[in-house]
Structure 1
Amino acid sequence: MSNSVRPPTRRGFPCHAFDGSISNGIGAGFITYVLIKLVKGKAREVHPLLWVVTALFVIYFAIGPIKILLGLS
């Protein structure tokens, strides 16, 4: 297993374990993986579909805080 795959796995599992939602754990792992590739300058190695899924997870995680800030929740 490459070094760029281990940290997202280590980030996704605790998120799932503490939150109780497997989708949150998967989303955290996707976001972490893409961020690591981006920081290391290897963004071209990330498949375009993974960029789309990661962007959707970012939106998914941002909806709750945005609603709270706007007083909609």
Structure 2
Amino acid sequence: MNIVNDSVDLGRLIRTERKRQHLTQEQLAALAGVGVRFVRELEGGKESCRVGLAFMVMQTLGLSVSVAGRGAS
């Protein structure tokens, strides 16, 4: 399990998984139905990326999100 604390961590996780699956940014964008610029900005940790599109990219890569509150184990 990876811990994501900010947009930079999320971008790094998405980039790592994309490369693990041997996809280019262009291929991922096409599969997820988003623009290549969006993928680049998401992987770059841009804070103002649209959350819905980010979830589409993560779903395309087979990534899921789990949220834990403070003090949760």
Report the TM-score range of the alignment, normalised by the length of the smaller protein.
0.3 to 0.5
Determine which structure has more spread, i.e. the larger CA radius of gyration.
1
Greater RCO, CA 8 A, separation 6+: 2
User: What TM-score do the two structures reach when normalised by structure 1?
Assistant: 0.32
TM-score (norm 2): 0.32
The structure whose residues are more often helix, as a share, is: 1
